[in-house]
Amino acid sequence: MQQLVAELKQAGIGDVRVNEPLTKHTTWKIGGPADLLIIPGTDDELAAALQLLLSHGIPWCLLGRGSNTLVSDKGVRGAVIKLGDGFDDARFDGETVSVGAAFSFVKLSVMSGREGLTGLEFAGGIPGTVGGAVYMNAGAHGSDISRILQSADIIWTDGSQSVLGKEEMEFSYRHSILHERQGIVTRAVFRLANGDRKEIAAAMATYKDRRRRTQPLQMACAGSVFRNPPNDHAARLIEAAGLKGLREGAAEVSMLHANFIVNHGGAKAEDVLTLIQRVQRTIEQTNGILLVPEVLLLGER
């Protein structure tokens, strides 16, 4: 690993950190250290980093803003890649917007509305980055990424680069081709439509007020924990089963929104995993439905 670190630094690849605590990089404030955290600032730096990791046989994973992610208490062996400031930009051109993968999805929604463009109102309550949203085909309020994506720039594990159109991304519910083929979104282009600024602002204000009233966004959490099963909502099932307030250590099924698990301070990944499993068992026993986690699990078990 020391040789790899030396080669990464020699290649001028962004910010390289050894044994970096991932509690500082996740919205749950949970997670042990990464053997190596690499923060490239450009496409070329990212491609070079991936090539070096491949040549050294070092496994890697990607971390955005740390929402929708549960990092093991033991940390992550190998490398964690987090895109740097060079991927944090948005450029509007008529009805299209080209966005770096590290850009805030919520911020993009707000900016699009101010430009008088409709199509991203649903993103106003989805934490995380544009890259993570594309990876997960993020969605809410009856819409998702697949409806507006025009293309995505991808860098693959060997450092090669592609531009994939919407059909090539193989989107389905909370799924994209990147779940089968490991690569990193570096930029996305969205096709929006001209709209009425007042109507867009009103819709976003409605969504924001609803989130404020129904989601524990002032606490350490990671967004929705479970995918919604067909023709139902995970939160409804969990609440109906009387599981709001269920606790394990400092982790709790939120009293405000049953599909959120909050960290009251000092919660461990194992606490959250235990809660997830208890909820799954209860809902399967009472409803015959196995809830599928939406959060990504990273690290050593």
Q: Which of 224, 248, 252, 254 is catalytic?
A: 224
The angle at the Cα of 33, spanning 275 to 184, to the nearest 5 degrees, equals 85
List the structure tokens of 18. Answer: 């050894």
- Cα 19 to Cα 24: distance, rounded to the nearest angstrom: 12
Phi, psi of 128 (to 5 degrees): 105, -170
Q: Which of 67, 174, 252, 254 is catalytic?
A: 174
List the structure tokens of 161. Answer: 């680069």
- Cα 156 to Cα 178: distance, rounded to the nearest angstrom: 10
Instruction: Judge whether 181 counts as a catalytic residue.
Output: no
Q: Which of 20, 115, 252, 294 is catalytic?
A: 294
Instruction: Judge whether 174 counts as a catalytic residue.
Output: yes
Instruction: Judge whether 104 counts as a catalytic residue.
Output: no
Distances (CA, A) of 263 to 23, 121, 250, 257: 12, 28, 6, 14
At which residue do the structure tokens 């509007």 appear? Answer: 92
**Enzyme catalytic residues:** 174, 224, 294
